Amino acid sequence: MNRGCSPKPAQWHSSYRSIAGQAGAAYNSAYSASKAAVIGFTKAVALEVAKLGITSNAICPWHVDTELMREAMAARGAIFGNSAEEYITKIVTTNPQRRLITAAEVAGLALFLTLPEARGINGQSLNQCGGVVTA
């Protein structure tokens, strides 16, 4: 693992995808298919580089509270006659934790995967979704 001063290259790879790649997302079939493809790619890479001591995992968050997500939800909400906030409120009620995921949470998981203590995690799709996908 690269600690900033070592010439040794980083020994991990993380893909950032969505739970839509595992569970699908209504009205978003192309998006879901593209995310599922990257999950498959990540698993294949994990097998290819494992002997080199490199890990490859996919971080699959649910809706991350960012400006881009809010813009997308405004557009989707308009399709159903809702404001952005009304649509986000409806979405949040489907999350067992009743909240959006934060960018800091996603960054924290990504950072953890760079630690030596995470070297046994390889080829995994890690759901960061508050329990939306539990299978």
Q: How far apart are CA 135 and CA 1, in angstroms?
A: 31
The sign of the dihedral angle between the CA atoms of 69, 86, 127, 43 is: negative
Respond yes or no: is residue 16 known to be catalytic: no
- Residue identified by tokens 């490859």 is 56
User: Could you say which of 16, 27, 31, 87 is catalytic?
Assistant: 31
Three-state helix/strand/coil letters over 47-75:
HHHHHHCCEEEEEEECCECCHHHHHHHHH
The sign of the dihedral angle between the CA atoms of 52, 9, 119, 45 is: negative
Q: Could you give the residue numbers annotated as active site?
A: 31
